[in-house]
Structure 1
């Protein structure tokens, strides 16, 4: 069921205009942003492909949501203000755990890693979305909202509002917002940390709209003036092939499972970087090495247009 009011569809012209404006202001040296033509085109291609992929799984998602709603525990009125406030909080909490799962377990990281694969951080990065999220099944996490009695259209609208909100936080053009806003909401400063590959910043700030979830569950990390964010993944990709961007981690995971079938579950559902012989680093081990002063910094990576020094993987 597609809602009559679709925030994402309505916001698409704004997204494009905002990206163009950020590029123009950067060229005029009015604001700060880093754009690379091929990188931006890859992000736009990923965004377009994500919409197409979403259509392929939409029938299953909608059918499952409607079926769940038909077995709802309560009747939540779509016209009640309290219902929208409750849904806002519950959907944002759901997003937090979806996002955290997508970083902490490799199977779902394989569907999410493409969003982090750009070595630049600008508004076009927000459009670098998954092609395989529907197949990975993370949409199941939102079914309890329908079970509680929130109408499917209402859930879809709130998810759209969350996605539209998260667009503007993908920028370096905005420094820090007022302290009261930084304390409650996800902001460009908080989300820059989330996209950074510095050991200090890895796997932090999973928030959608409210940063309070990270503070509540111990995953909050403020952006520090003394440590600039370095963007991308621990071992960055070279080139801009959108098929590689979309599927490289699925391929790498399949290769690991084929080579080590006895450890298949670990390679599929362990944290990204897990290996049966501990020969690879996870976010936790990189952070531990950094904290111990042993140099848990990722190796310097080539710029996207340069030849890689070694094979890249997530």
Structure 2
């Protein structure tokens, strides 16, 4: 599964984290030990959960692939098509993760830090297999792409995204028109009103431009990172489960069944507006 590819790249990632930390030393407090250790703990928990779930997920992909629409033998053309198709489905997953509270309960972990540096890319949730991230790539197996190739391309996409979690790189000229860049991703992690829920790209920014979710970084509006209702903890267990606990508590309150479903599957900000205010709410959009 993808975790093995990402683990193989771990020395590269760690080297770039060390280089970035050295770059900022004495300039700005971009890194803190507590935040970085929290990110590392969340990464290890995430990788462990992915390893456990991976066997079941690849089995489901293989079963779906048996009923594929087309036979797509591996070639430069089919791998290129898979790369573009996977990136499109990543965009759909990422956008849904900000607009559906059930998915946001996992994804909020990644946005909960008020810092942005390369180690923030490690800040992931172990609950992604539960919230259903893997479902978004099932259509690729049904179309006819080999499940092993699907998993490999997902890993490559995620590896690329490691490098956009930084403030050390400015705008990159014409590349900004085609690819996700650090500038685009700084916007995505910002909680400023004009930046919230924008720039969902994995590798290609063209999906945001096509579907109206693109916003350019404004030098006059510095990015403020984190979630609208911050959670003041570095405890990886609380970071992982706080929104799940809030969501399930809101869903079991006495209310019509439509309202219960809204708490689980409605937009995060709408669900929170229907519930009593919590001291550490996790809504991305407020």
Compute the TM-score of the two structures, normalised by the length of structure 1: 0.85
Aligned mates of 1:201, 1:267 — CA distance in 2: 24
Contact 2:190 2:196 in 1 (8 A): yes
Q: CA RMSD in A?
A: 1.9
* Aligned counterpart, 1:265: 261
**CA separation in 2, counterparts of 1:74 and 1:33?**
52
Structure 2 unmatched ranges of 5 or more: none
Aligned residues of 1:33 and 1:172 also touching (Cα < 8 A): no
Which residue matches 1:311? Answer: 279
Q: Secondary structure at the match of 1:134?
A: helix
Deviations 1:194-225 (A, max 9, x none): 00001100000000000000000000000001
Deviations 1:152-191 (A, max 9, x none): 111111101101100000000001112x100000000000
- Residue aligning to 1:104: 99
Q: Which residue of 1 aligns with 2:8?
A: 10
Residues 119-167 of structure 1 show CA distances to partners (whole Å, capped at 9, x for unaligned) of: 0000000000111010111211101101111101111111011011000
Task: Output the CA distance in 2 between the equivalents of 1:261 and 1:143.
Answer: 34
Q: How far apart in 2 are the matches of 1:10 and 1:58? A: 17
Tell me how far apart the structure 2 counterparts of residues 167 and 53 of structure 1 sit (CA, whole Å). Answer: 19
Partner of 1:88: 83
What residue in structure 1 maps to residue 176 of structure 2? 182
Q: Given the alignment of the two structures, is residue 217 of structure 1 paired with residue 211 of structure 2, yes or no? A: yes
Cα distance in 1 between the residues matched to 2:196 and 2:272: 22
Task: Report the secondary structure of 1:170's partner residue.
Answer: coil
2:54 corresponds to 1:26: no
Structure 1: gaps spanning 5 or more residues: 282-309
Alpha-carbon separation, structure 2, partners of 1:12 and 1:233: 27
159, 166, 172: which one aligns with 1:171? 166
TM-score normalized by the length of structure 2: 0.93
